[in-house]
């Protein structure tokens, strides 16, 4: 166990309640949970999701994690999902064979941060694949739908899906709404220059019995986000997304170093562009992974350092924790996916530099 470096600011109004303490206030210790490297050697853990219900191979309270790199550390070639229990037990949930998919997925399989579990144990994970680990070969990919036993049952492709990079979801009766960021719209052609064509899609699915969820509609609710190829990160663009209590979708706009908000994300039929800026600069340093805390605050991890930042919906940055201080500069590039645990008293996060799942508690 190591103590997390702590910076806590004065409590502010959160969701209309004045004086509420930051969610991160009592969380001061970082502890390792387990390695995320499965038997085939896949590396670079990205997507991080806490399982809500036990079904099939999924177990409530466990953390599901997607790997972006293969055993040779080539980006966009990872094919495995691992499941980690709070006590550190690790199991391979799925190893996906690109040659045996039930439908198209342009470019193959390279599992991104886009990861969620829907009612019934349907796992949806994004694929932003390459053939050699470089942006020169990256292709549009797809969303892969797996059943609760880890078998790919469906692919969701096209209609705006182009480099699905991160995702969150909301479920209503037999309907699911996926909110997916996309980072490949004109990006490769830009040759490393910023291209402001990153999008956020809302993909509506319908669940019917034991059949995989079927796409009913795709609506572009955000666009104009900066994106570019990057030798170290493959691609940089709008990353983490999280849905607030009032149906506001928060987006980590990585290149612009800000958090933005798209209002009425569940029901809107129009494109909100990049939304409105919630917070920019300050302790934000290229925000990547994003999660919404139980009280409504926005949690983001930085790409430029090893910090986790808590920001209120009003834009006040109320707490900072240093999760990773290794490397030069300290923690840069180590953090990606994060998720609040079921008891709402800890935050799981993956450390890409060490290929480990850790917990802030």
Burial class (CB in 10 A: 0-12, 13-18, 19+), 194: middle
Listed in sequence order, the residues at least 6 apart from 85 whose beta carbon sits closer than 8 Å to its beta carbon are 59, 61, 62, 63
Q: Compute the 3-state secondary structure of the chain and give helix, strand, coil in percent, each to the nearest 5.
A: 0, 50, 45
Per-residue CA distances from 5 to 33, 84, 287, 306, 309 (Å): 19, 26, 18, 10, 12
pLDDT of amino acid 231 = 86
Does the pLDDT value for residue 266 go beyond 70? Answer: yes
User: Could you read off the pLDDT of 119-147 as tens digits, one per residue?
Assistant: 999 999 999 999 999 999 999 999 999 99
CB distance 115 to 126 below 8 Å: yes
Instruction: Return the exposure string of 35-59: e unless at least 16 CB atoms fall within 10 Å of the residue's CB, then b.
Output: ebbbeeebbbbbbbbbbeeebbbbe
HSE (side-chain half, CA atoms, 13 Å) at 179: 29
Does the pLDDT value for residue 262 go beyond 90? Answer: yes
- As a whole number of angstroms, the distance between CA 142 and CA 110 comes to 10
Does the pLDDT value for residue 209 go beyond 90? Answer: no
Domains of the chain, first to last:
2-360 (2.120.10.30)
pLDDT of amino acid 323 = 97
Residue 116: count of CB within 10 angstroms of its CB: 23
Q: What is the mean pLDDT of residues 10-39?
A: 77
Does the pLDDT value for residue 166 go beyond 60? Answer: yes
pLDDT of amino acid 3 = 62
Q: Write down the residue that tokens 């799925």 correspond to.
A: 94
- As a whole number of angstroms, the distance between CA 218 and CA 289 comes to 23
User: Could you read off the pLDDT of 229-261 as tens digits, one per residue?
Assistant: 998 889 999 999 999 989 999 999 999 999 999
pLDDT of amino acid 17 = 41
Does the pLDDT value for residue 14 go beyond 70? Answer: no
pLDDT of amino acid 158 = 97
Q: What is the pTM of this model?
A: 0.95
């Amino acid at each position: 166990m190591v103590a997390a470096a702590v910076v806590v600011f004065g409590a502010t109004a959160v969701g209309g309640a004045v004086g509420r303490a930051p969610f991160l206030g009592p969380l001061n210790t970082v502890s390792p949970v387990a390695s995320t490297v499965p038997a085939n050697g896949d590396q670079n853990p990205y997507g991080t999701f806490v399982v809500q219900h036990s079904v099939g191979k999924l177990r409530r309270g466990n953390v599901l994690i997607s790997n972006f790199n293969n055993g040779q550390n080539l980006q966009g070639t990872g094919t495995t999902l691992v499941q980690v229990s709070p006590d550190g037990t690790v199991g391979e949930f799925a190893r996906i064979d690109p040659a045996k998919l039930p439908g198209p997925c342009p470019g193959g399989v390279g599992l991104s941060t886009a990861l969620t579990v829907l009612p019934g144990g349907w796992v949806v994970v994004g694929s932003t694949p390459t053939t050699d680990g470089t942006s020169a070969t990256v292709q549009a990919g797809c969303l892969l739908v797996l059943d609760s036993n880890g078998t790919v049952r469906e692919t969701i492709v096209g209609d705006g899906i182009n480099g699905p990079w991160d995702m969150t979801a909301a479920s209503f009766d037999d309907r699911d709404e996926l909110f997916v960021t996309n980072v490949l719209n004109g990006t490769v052609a830009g040759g490393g220059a910023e291209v402001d064509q990153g999008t956020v899609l809302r993909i509506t699915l319908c669940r019917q019995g034991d059949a995989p969820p079927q796409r009913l509609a795709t609506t572009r609710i955000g666009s104009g986000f900066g994106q570019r190829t990057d030798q170290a990160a493959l691609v940089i663009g709008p990353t983490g997304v999280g849905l607030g209590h009032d149906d506001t979708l928060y987006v980590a706009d990585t290149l612009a170093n800000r958090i933005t908000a798209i209002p009425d994300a569940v029901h809107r039929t129009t494109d909100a562009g990049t939304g409105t800026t919630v917070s920019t600069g300050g302790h934000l340093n290229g925000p990547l992974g994003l999660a919404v805390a139980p009280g409504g605050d926005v949690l983001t991890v930085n790409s430029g350092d090893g910090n986790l930042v808590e920001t209120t919906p009003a834009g006040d940055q109320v707490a900072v924790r240093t999760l990773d201080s290794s490397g030069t500069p300290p923690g840069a590039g180590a953090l990606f996916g994060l998720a609040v645990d079921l008891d709402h008293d800890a935050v799981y996060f993956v450390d890409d530099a060490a290929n480990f799942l850790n917990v802030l508690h």
